[in-house]
């Protein structure tokens, strides 16, 4: 053990530089172990793993670009393939082999941000998001300085093993540097991100999300240990997840009736069933706007919204869409017997 290590240990503690404090303490432990004092080395390592030396429970960032994210919201249901990848992330982090940077790519509403919350929750870590749009500054060179400040604070923060950093919609700053539409300043900013990602503390879990994966700089993508594709929903996946979301919502709306066959048929009459994020909002609005005295009103509202109509179509069109007489009665309020008569009359014309 060298004298400068003790001096640095005191200095880093005084400066509250947790990362360098721990690295120096690890070096001291290794020196004791190499000299044969295995018990003292083990004691130092166990102390570092069990205690947060000067760590506040809620870290206050100096930079204005960080925001705390609540992770106690319900997880968004995922298809099996994507859910397995999320479990794989947890496994990789628990192996402690240096895999800690992940890129979530996919269309809006596919569950990227919600899955980042789930990762933080499963790891019992705090989740912080970085507003990359806020990092962009019109002043020459300021964007790169903002990026450097953000990553500097990430690498200096106490208890990095208790943190997940989410770079949500990182497209704003990581677009292809050779894109003709990309200004030189943004090229420098992207280069700053690349360098910072190479040097980010391995104890910090980093998750970035993007809706524009194909437009990202290839060098940027290579900085991540794994890319998770969230565009792997089949039509049946969307239907199944929509049913799960509806059942969850119906627990809050006791007066609404549950008719899963009609619900699925309404959704199946769309060319494209929305992704779960959008579906969640559609269901919430349909139920919230529905008449509490009418248990099936939310189904009519959902039909009109998904079909983009202000009024119900003709009985003949509903029949052509595959709805039964009972289902047409629910959607229109016209009795089954009258529906049957009008359909017969229309067929005979």
What residues contact residue 173 under an 8 Å CB cut-off, 6+ apart? 132, 135, 136, 143, 147, 186, 189, 190, 193
pLDDT digits (tens, 9 = 90+) for 86-131: 999 999 999 999 999 999 999 999 999 999 999 999 898 999 999 7
pTM of the model: 0.77
Contacts for 182-188 with beta carbons within 8 Å, 24 or more apart? 185/140, 185/141, 185/143, 186/136, 186/143, 188/141, 188/143, 188/144
- Contact criterion met (CB below 8 Å) for 78 and 90: no
Ramachandran region, residue 159 (left: φ > 0; alpha: ψ -120 to 50; beta: rest):
left
Neighbours of 201 (CB within 10 A): 20
pLDDT in tens, the chain (349 residues): 567 777 776 776 766 666 677 777 777 877 776 777 766 666 666 665 544 444 445 667 777 889 999 888 777 789 999 999 999 999 999 999 999 999 999 999 999 999 999 999 989 899 999 977 777 776 657 778 888 889 999 998 888 889 999 998 887 776 655 454 445 656 677 788 888 999 999 999 999 999 999 888 888 899 999 999 999 999 999 999 999 999 999 999 999 999 999 999 999 999 999 999 999 999 999 999 999 999 999 999 999 999 999 999 999 999 999 999 999 999 999 999 999 999 988 777 6
- Contact criterion met (CB below 8 Å) for 296 and 287: no
Neighbours of 326 (CB within 10 A): 13
Q: What is the C-alpha to C-alpha distance for residues 135 and 141, in angstroms, rounded to an integer?
A: 11
Q: What is the C-alpha to C-alpha distance for residues 301 and 263, in angstroms, rounded to an integer?
A: 11
Q: Which two tokens stand for residue 152?
A: 């500097």
C-alpha distances (whole Å) from 253 to each of 257, 284, 297, 301 are 9, 10, 12, 15
Domains of the chain: 3-50 (no CATH), 66-229 (3.40.50.300), 235-348 (no CATH)
């Amino acid at each position: 053990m060298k004298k400068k290590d003790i001096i640095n240990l005191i200095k880093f503690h005084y400066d509250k530089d947790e990362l360098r404090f721990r690295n120096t303490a690890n070096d001291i432990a290794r020196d004791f172990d190499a000299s044969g004092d295995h018990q003292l080395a083990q004691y130092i390592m166990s102390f570092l793993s069990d205690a947060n030396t000067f760590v506040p429970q809620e870290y206050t960032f100096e930079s204005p670009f960080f925001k705390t994210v609540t992770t106690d919201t319900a997880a968004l249901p995922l298809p099996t393939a994507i859910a397995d990848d999320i479990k794989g992330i947890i496994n990789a982090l628990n192996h402690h082999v240096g895999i800690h940077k992940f890129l979530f790519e996919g269309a809006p509403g596919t569950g990227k941000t919600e899955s980042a919350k789930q990762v933080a929750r499963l790891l019992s870590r705090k989740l912080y998001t970085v507003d990359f749009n806020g990092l962009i500054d019109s002043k020459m060179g300021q964007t790169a300085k903002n990026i450097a400040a953000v990553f500097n604070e990430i690498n200096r923060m106490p208890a990095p093993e208790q943190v997940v950093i989410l770079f949500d919609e990182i497209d704003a700053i990581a677009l292809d540097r050779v894109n003709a539409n990309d200004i030189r300043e943004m090229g420098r900013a992207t280069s700053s991100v690349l360098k910072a990602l190479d040097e980010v503390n391995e104890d910090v879990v980093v998750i970035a999300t993007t809706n524009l994966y194909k437009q990202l700089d290839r060098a940027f993508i290579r900085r991540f240990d794994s890319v998770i594709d969230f565009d792997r929903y089949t039509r049946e996946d969307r239907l199944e997840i929509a049913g799960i979301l509806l059942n969850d919502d119906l627990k809050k709306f006791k007066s609404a009736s549950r008719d899963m066959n009609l619900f699925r048929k309404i959704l199946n009459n769309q060319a494209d069933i929305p992704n779960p994020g959008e579906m969640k909002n559609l269901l919430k609005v349909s139920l919230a706007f529905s008449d509490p005295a009418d248990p099936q009103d939310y189904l009519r509202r959902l039909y009109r919204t998904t079909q983009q109509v202000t009024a119900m179509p003709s009985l003949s069109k509903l029949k052509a869409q595959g709805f039964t007489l009972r289902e047409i009665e629910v959607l229109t309020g016209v009795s089954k017997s009258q529906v049957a008569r009008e359909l017969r009359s229309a067929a005979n014309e």
